[in-house]
Structures are given as C-alpha cells and as structure tokens.
Structure 1
Amino acid sequence: MAEQSPQETSPLMASHPSETTLTDQPLIDDEPSVSYFDMVKQECTWLSLSSVPLALSYFCQNSFVFISMLSVGRLGVNELAAASLSVMIINFTINMPCVGLACALETFCGTAFTGSKDKTQVGFHTQRGLVAVTLQLVPMAILFMFIDPLLEMIGQTEQVAALCGVFLRVWLLGSWPLVAFECLKRFVQAQGIMQAGTWVMTVVCPIHIIASQQLVWSDRFGLGFVGAPLATVLTNWLLFFGLVGYIACSKAKEAWGGLTLSCIDGIWEFYRLAIPSAAMMACSWSVFELVTFGSSIFGPVSLAAQACIFSAIAMTYQAPAAIGSATATRVGNSLGRGLQRRARVSSYVSICIGYVVGISCAAMFYINRHSWGYMFTDNEDVVALCSKLMPFFIFVQTFDGMNGLVAGILRALGKQSLGATLAFPSFWIVAVPIGFYLGMGAPDLQVVGLWIGLTVGVVLYSLAQQAFIFWCIDWRQEVKVCFDRLAISTTSKTPSPAASILCVEHGAANDYGTIV
C-alpha cells in the first residue's frame, strides 16, 4: 500500500516527540554543562543584542506617526486634533486587529522553524497570516469611505470630521503594504534574522522625514494637511518592497516555499490563536483609543495634549515591545527544540531587562515634563496640560511596556486567550468605569480623570500577567503542548512524509549560547 503523506490532523511521527521526550526519557534541555548563571548571561546577551535592532526598527516605524504629528501640528489645533483622531481610528480599526492577527505568527513560525525539518512551513504559516490580514482590511476600507458623517454624529465638529475623513481615505492607499510588512517581519524574525527590519527602516526613515516636510510645507510640492497621510502611504509601500527585496536576497527566502492556495485549507488552526491574539491586543489597545476619544469631548486643547502624550507613549513602548518580540522568537525556538529550562530563563531575563528600560524612560520624561509639549505646539494651554498628565504617563508607559513584553512570552506559549482573559476585567471592568466616572462624573477631572483610570488598569493587567508567568506555567508541559500544536497545524506540501518530521535530534542542535 502506498504510504500517505501526513494530513492536517494526523501526527507527524509514529511516536509523537512529546510522548517520548516528556515521559520515558529525561529532558535533555537540562543542559548539565551549562550552569544557571551562565545561562542567564547567555540569554541576557542574546536578548540585548537581538532587541537592539528590533527596537531601532520599531522606533523608526513608530516615528512615522510622530513625524506626521510634528508636520501637521504647526498647521493649527484643528489639524493636530484631526490627525490625532485619524491615528486613533486607524489604530482601532486596522492596526489593532491586523497586528493582533500577525502576532499569532510568532507562535506558529517560531516553533515551526526549529521544530520541523521542512523549513518552508514557516512560509506556509506566514501566507495564512497574509490572507487573514487582507480579509480584515475589506470592511474597514468601506467604513473609511463614509466616515465623515459618522464622526459628526458622535460629536466632532464639521471641520475636524472633514479633515479626519480626508486623512483616512488617503492613508487607506497604504494600508495593505503596512499589514503585509507586519507579517513578513515575523517571518524573518522567526528565523533569527532580527536586523532585516532595521536595515529597511534605516533606508526608509530619512525618506519619510523628507517626504513629510516636502508634501506638507514645501512651496513647490506642499499639499498642506493631506500631505501627511500621503507621505505615510509612500513610506508604507517602501517598507513592504524593501523587506520583500531583503528576503529575496537573503537566506530567509529558503523558508518561503512559494505561494500556495493550500494555506487556506485548515486556516482555522491559525485563527484559533490569531483571534485571541487580536482580542488580547484589542482589550488593552482599545482602552487607549477610548481615552483619546474621551479627550476629544473636552475640546481641541485636551485632544491635542492627548496626542502629544500618546506620541511619547508610542515612542517609549517600542523598546520593551522589541524585547518581547525577540523573547517570543527565543522562547518559541527553545520550545521547538524541547529546551524548556532555557525558555523559562529567557522569559525571566527579558522581564528584568524590561523593567530597567521602562524605569529609565520614565525618569527621563518626568524630568522634561514641562517642555515636552513645546515639541508639538506653541499653545500654552496644551503645554500646561501635557505637564499635568506626565506623572500618570510615567506609570502607564512603564507598565504598558511590560504588557507588550509579557505578551510576547504568552504568544510564544500560545496563550493569547489568557492575555485576553486578564485584559478584559483589568481594563473594561476596572479602568474604564473609574476613568469615565472621574473624568465625566461628579469629580469632573476631565482628561486627568481618564488617565487615572487608565493608569489603574494598565498596572493591574501588567502585574496579573507577570504573576502568571512566574508562578503558574509548567514549562515541561509547554514543550508537549508546543509539539502537539505543531503536529496539527502543519500541512505537508510534498509527497514525502519526511519533509514535515519534527526535529527532535536535540544533540544536533546549535549551541544556544551563540548569538544569531
């Protein structure tokens, strides 16, 4: 009888690695030749060096919004308010769900790269992510076409609503390359190639700065307000083509495997983790955007100050988010090799590094709290309100950064649903009621009240996630879960069953002390 190739729901080996490795044999990831202290040093070195290029990449990418805010801020308070509201809508309707879907690739691609001999499974899962984010864009594109009257219905002025509508419709032209870039970025990171995004950003960032200035303010090319989203469209396409070019010219292309419609078959296995991943991000991210919307109710000054403060949060968030992304790759690769002790140590080390980075950023911004607003506007009322909000900002940026870092660990473990479960009560049962009562209720603290509620929710969520990481995870069991997930989420694309056999010859694994 002809031997059948493995199917989506069939085990990839006659004897499943999780069964043989975790029951009858001792775990070889004890790595007796490596002391705990040496392992901590190795992980600290690897995470630090790997996070730096990622942080630079994230920082450059986020600076695009920062630069756009600087470009339109001098046009007037209404323009700054409209740009801030537009960014909020983009984050809420596109970036939040699409990045959440793309983040599920950190679960699948990281373990597939080390846990499967068929490296093209990394590209297979990436194509599933591309399909998912593309489908997400369709209803949002329709919404953006008719958003002006909707904004007026919820209380925005006619001028702000019109400006916001123009911003969103122009920005929509660059939406797909942005979300595709997010998927491809996870594709290369899963292979340990952390510098790809950095090289692309290094080239594109100066172009964005020049384009933003020229398209908004230049006497020859300047278009005023509409130039800001147009510069972003140009930047997004450059990011996409730049990363595609990098992949085509590097060893990363070996894991692509070519386009295949078979990625649609069984795509629910991707959505099973992608939907909780998006929900985890939605529960926290949506509260930040809700605070921006609540600030808009108190007038253009509050909304403009909110834009200034959120620009600072977006900047400081990038370093811990980069550490979290690097940790997700490290933990996923470790679990794919069955190295549970190293996965655990890597998680703990990353949390410690995150606190050092977060506290350092908090101190820097608090010292400069009275001058931060002047970077965006000369309006004294906006600057004063920025200074008033800064004490709450330092708590939010520190613990929200830790949320982004710990989310990377949870994604590597495939526990996105846990993150969503902890996020919902922290933000929607605690933070939102407190914030809106203090801001719009009897205390009438306005935007300050909203920030008090946000601070409570962010800190509570962060501590709950970290408590789970330190005290509730059975790392031996996570190795078994990792192999189980890889077995049922992989489709063989070749006649040979050997193409998708899990890599369990741990003795042949590379030294994890080596910097990738």
Structure 2
Amino acid sequence: MVTNASAPRTDTALDSEQNECSPLLISRRGSQNTLLESGNADYAANAQLDNETDVGYLDMIKQETTWLVPAVVPMSFTYLCLSSFNFVSLLTVGRLGVTELAGVSLGIMLANFLVLMPGFGFAATLDSYCYSAFTACEDKTQVGFHARRGIVAITTLLIPIAVLFYFIDSLLVLTGQNPEVAYECGRFLRIWMLGSWPQLVFDCLRRFVNAQGNVKPGTYIMFIALPVHVANSYFLVWSPTVGMGVVGAPVATVITYWSMLAMMTVYICFSKARFAWGSTSLDCINGISKFYHYAIPSALMMASSWAAYEVVTFGASLFGPVALSAQACIFNLMCLTYQVPAACGASAAIRIGHSLGEGKQRRARYSSAISILMGYIFGIGCSTLLFIYRHQLGYLYCNDDEVVEMCSTLIPYFASVQTYDGLNGLVDSLMRSLGKQDLSVFMSIPAFWLLGIPLGYYLALGPMQMKIVGLWIGLALGVVVYSITQQVFILFYIDWRHEVKVCLERLAKAAPLKQNLQGNPNSLSAATLHNYEASIYM
C-alpha cells in the first residue's frame, strides 16, 4: 500500500523521529517510503516528488543541521583515527634518525599512491550505490550486494601491487633514490602490504553500516583500536626486549588493521546490519562492470588530486633528506586537518543518498549547502591555529632543528590553502553521492596537472630556484582552483530534481542480473523510469 503523498505533516511528526539512525527525518512509522517499492511498479510514476512543501526553508535548515552535526562528530573521530595510524608511525620512527624517517615517509607516499588512492577510490564508489539503495529499494540486501562488489574489486586490485612491492627497493635504486632510504622503504612496504587488504575491506564494511544510517560502530572500533595501536607501535619499535626498529611500525599497523576488520565483522554478524548483507555467494561478480563504471572514475578522482601531493613529496626528495622529512611532516599534518571536513562530506553524502533514494531533492540540496558552510567554518579556524603555532609543530615529529625550521617555512603556505584542501575532501564526497566522479576528474586535471604541478616544478627547479617553496606555491594554486570549481558546480549548477531520476536509473542498472532477468520488482523498468522522469518536470 502506498501512503497518500499529499497527506498533511505536522512539525511534531517531523521532530518526533529525529535520530541518527533514521533514514530520513520525515519518515513515518507504518508508511512505505521506498521509491523502488516491491509489487507496485507504478509507484514512481504516481509519487509526488518532494512532498514536503509545507516545511519552510528555516525548518529545513534546522532539521538538516540537526542531523548533520551529531553525525559529523563520530564520523570525524573515525576519520582522524584512520589517518593517525601513519601519524603514529612517523612519530615512533622519526627519532630513530633522518634516514629512517625519510625511508618510512617515502614508503607511506608509495603506499598512498599505489594502494590507498585506488583502493579507497574503489571503496568510495559505494557512496554512489549503498546510501541511496537503502531508501530506494525495499530489498535492503541490495546494500550488501554493492558492498560485496566493492570487496571483490579491491581484492583483485591488490594482487599485482603486492608483487610490485616485493621488488620495490631495487626499483627505487634504479630511479636514483638513496640506497639506504630505498632499503628502509622496501622493508616498511613489504610488511605494511599485509595489512592493506583488511584496511580497505574495513572501509567497505564501514560504508555498508553507514548506509543504514548508523555511523557510530566505526567510532567505537577506532576508540578501541587507536590506543592499542599507539602502545603496539611504541613497544614494537622502541622496546629494549622485542623492539624491532623501523620494522616495528608496519608490524603494529598490520596488527591494528586485522583487529579492526575482525571487530567490524563481529559487529555486523551480531547486529541488525547483517540483514542487509544478503547472500555470501559470489553472485556480485555478475555484471560487476557496472561497478567499475563508477569505481574507475572514483579512483581517478582521488588519484588526480592525491597524486598531486605525492608528486610534490617526490619533488621534495630531490632536495635532500631534510626537505623530504619536512615535507612528510607537513603532508601528515595536512592529512590530519583534512579529516574533519572529509567526515562532514561523508556524513552529508549519506544524507544526500538517503534523500535522493526517497525523492527528497530539497533535503539533498540543503544538506550539501550546509555541509560546505561547516567546512568553511572549520577550515578557517584550523588555518589560523596552524599559522600561530608554525614554529612549534615540527617538534611533534622530530628533534632535528633543520627539519623543524623547514616545517616552519612551509606551514604558512599550507595554512593558506588548508581550508580549500579540506573542502575538496568534503565536496568529493558530495560528488560521489551523486555519481559524478567522472566530472570531478575533468575538473581536477586542469587545476592540478595543467596549472598547479607544472608551475610548482617550474618555480622549484627553474630559474627562480625556489626549491620546495616553489612546489608548494604551485600546489596551493591547484588546490584552490579545484575546490572553487567543484563548489560552484554543486551550489549553482546541479539540478537536484533531475538527480533523483539519475539515482534511480543507476540503482536499476546495477541490480543483480539474475533478478533483473526475472523481473526483479526492486529495479525500475525503462517505462517506469520514463514515467517518473515525466512526473519530475510536471
């Protein structure tokens, strides 16, 4: 049965169900609010798009802010903890010596570039499917179906990279890298790679749970894992009895990632989230090309911007271990300050996906604008603090005065661009929730690769000989251009009513092939999509 879309709603009804786990604040008990409703193929054609016309814009802003702020807090803690593992590795290794710090820094750079960029890009593709599938499909196991596709794609990705890392130190020497730094880098990566699969699968499972409106499990797991990781890192690197030096850092990381995956698996198995998982078979392989249609642009979107930072780090290595170590410290600070805006974007992506899945285009539009405003508020405050404490931050990583001095020189450039860097992470999440990863790639290429990076290398190595400062000037320009371009598109050029139809098309095309062939009622037919599109523009 379909509820009457024109039935009046009161503010009391709206407010009575405001909680973090509700797919939407406006959902009512006993009503069917899925656009892909089982057994009613004409529902989409007859549904009234965005039937909250009685909710004023101030109430809408209040409701969306009320949902986003409580969701951002645990999500931010999760993101900060995930990024802090490399931070802890640098802290524990940094005082072993400049060569050890440079080797681990180079290893983290290669791990980011070759593993985490494409891996997290594939995992982030779930934003385009799982969030909207939870509200658009009555069959909630389609959320698990897409999550399983993500895990299969990630597993396939890691196999050739593992082979490459086995020979990585020899390859680095051939490229002209310092043999001692290459040796430390190779030792680090071969062990670290053992924890890459559980790290990325954990991210898929975290998004699977988040899609169901619950962002807290990842936070609880991080709350347990982080202090254990800090203790293990110190113990395995510095302990006089079992300390292993540089090798202890990746060993601690591997232990942490496998523990996190185990805890998330246990949570899913013993919570309501398991009902959305569906089959344990490999049926998700059928039609997986549709997943890659969004996964490859998602990885390229992440790689196009993330690789720009790594290319700057590689350029810093040309100016010696001190410049590389300082760049590693700044890059790690950037990763930490990036996480809160990225978490804000991730929370907004959940909200937007749920809203589009239910046809609530106004809520999706308001959520995007509010999240961008929150990103600016945090970014400006963070940039101010970075500039004020620029002379002290380097001591967090090492005691070498040259490295600390170089950090204090670079931090003003970093602080000037940090707000836009964080907003890039935020808006990237919004674009993925809309399935527009390919458009972000086209925006990032001119910003970073035609403008920022060439200018940076020219200033660093050209007649001006600005060295690492020149690299940062070019990077800052690319970051700002990319950020402003995406924000303008989100705020002024998105047709949110049309995005509802696009969202439903994406879910219909990606549904399990066998169910499609059998007339799966949870997938919209071409005729239904056509009728629904007509209803959007009535």
| Counterpart residue type for residue 174 of structure 1 | G
Match of 1:353 in 2: 374
Match of 2:385 in 1: 364
Give me the TM-score of the superposition, normalised by structure 2. 0.88
Could you tell me which of 522, 529, 533 is aligned with 1:500? Answer: 522
Q: Is the 8 A contact 1:177 1:236 kept in 2?
A: yes
**Aligned counterparts of 2:333 and 2:297: Cα–Cα separation in 1:** 28
User: Once the 2 structures are TM-superposed, how far is the Cα of residue 247 of structure 1 from its aligned partner?
Assistant: 1.0
Match of 2:424 among 375, 378, 403: 403
3-state secondary structure, aligned to 2:139:
coil
AA aligned opposite 1:450: L
Task: Note if contact 2:37-2:138 (Cα within 8 Å) is conserved in structure 1.
Answer: no
2:237 is equivalent to residue 216 of structure 1 = yes
Once the two structures are TM-superposed, the CA of residue 30 in structure 1 deviates from its matched residue by 4.4
Query: Matches of 1:149 and 1:492 in 2, distance apart?
Result: 45
Matches within 5 A, 1:13-162: 15=41, 20=45, 26-27=48-49, 29-162=50-183
Q: Which amino acid aligns with 1:431?
A: G
Mapped partners of 1:131, 1:105: distance in 2: 13
The letter of the residue matching 2:397 is F
Q: Please list the CA deviations of residues 71-122 of structure 1 after superposition, one character each: whole Å capped at 9, or x if unmatched.
A: 0000000011111100000000000001001111011001110000100000
Deviation at 1:33, TM superposition (A): 2.8
Secondary structure, aligned partner of 1:222: coil
- Report the AA paired with residue 235 of structure 2: Q
> Match of 1:175?
196
Shift of 1:17: 5.7
Unaligned regions of 5+ residues in structure 2, if any?
1-35, 529-538
Contact 1:11-1:488 within 8 A present in 2 as well: no
Which of residues 462, 469, 486 is equivalent to 1:465? 486
Give the letter for the 2:123 counterpart. Answer: A
Q: Give how far 1:406 is off.
A: 0.5
C-alpha RMSD over aligned residues: 1.8
* One of 446, 467, 471 as aligned partner of 1:450: 471
1:279 equivalent to 2:300? Answer yes
User: What is the Cα deviation at residue 499 of structure 1?
Assistant: 5.9
Give per-residue Cα distances to partners, 1:124-178, cap 9 Å, x unaligned: 0000000101111011001000111211122211100001000000111111101
Q: Report the AA paired with residue 444 of structure 1.
A: Q
- What secondary structure, in the 3-state scheme, does the structure 2 residue paired with 1:500 have? coil
CA distance in 1, matches of 2:89, 2:68: 31
CA distance in 2, matches of 1:153, 1:445: 27
Match of 2:444 among 391, 414, 423: 423
Tell me what 1:245 maps to: 266
Instruction: Please list the CA deviations of residues 347-399 of structure 1 after superposition, one character each: whole Å capped at 9, or x if unmatched.
Output: 00100011101111111111100000011111111111111111111133211
Question: Which of 428, 436, 439 is the matching residue for 2:457?
Answer: 436
Note if 1:291 corresponds to 2:323. no
Instruction: Give the Cα separation in 1 of the matches to 2:442 and 2:66.
Output: 33
Distance 1:487 1:14 in 2: 15
C-alpha offsets along residues 487-507 of structure 1, whole Å, 9 cap, x if unaligned?
1111177798566257x9xxx
Tell me the equivalent position of 2:214: 193
Matches within 5 A, 1:363-402: 363-402=384-423
Query: Cα offset for 1:335?
Result: 0.3
Asked if the contact 1:13–1:501 (Cα under 8 Å) also holds between the matched residues in 2, the reply is: no
**Cα distance, 1:201 vs. partner?**
0.6
Of the two structures, which has the highest relative contact order with CA contacts closer than 8 Å and spacing of 6 or more? Answer: 1
Contact 1:101/1:133 (<8 A) preserved: yes
In the alignment, structure 1 segments of 5+ residues that lack a partner are 1-9, 505-516
Change (3 A) 1:13 1:275: farther
Letter in 2 for 1:88: M
State how far apart, in whole Å, the 2-side matches of 1:485 and 1:377 are: 49
Following TM superposition, where does structure 1 have runs of at least 4 consecutive aligned residues deviating by more than 4 angstroms?
10-18, 492-499
Separation in structure 1 between the aligned mates of residue 376 and residue 312 of structure 2, nearest angstrom:
25
How far the C-alpha of 1:468 sits from its partner, in A, is: 0.4
Which residue matches 1:4?
A: none
Amino acid across the alignment from 1:41: K
Counterpart residue identity of residue 275, structure 2: E
